[in-house]
A and B are shown apart, each in its own frame.
Chain A
Amino acid sequence: DAGVIQSPRHEVTEMGQEVTLRCKPISGHNSLFWYRQTMMRGLELLIYFNNNVPIDDSGMPEDRFSAKMPNASFSTLKIQPSEPRDSAVYFCASSTRTGEDSGNTIYFGEGSWLTVV
Chain B
Amino acid sequence: EVQLVESGGGLVQPGGSLRLSCAASGFTFSSYWMSWVRQAPGKGLEWVANIKQDGSEKYYVDSVKGRFTISRDNAKNSLYLQMNSLRAEDTAVYYCARGTNWGQGTLVTVSS
Q: Do A and B form a real pair?
A: no
Residues of A near any B CB (own CB < 8 A): none
Residues of B near any A CB (own CB < 8 A): none
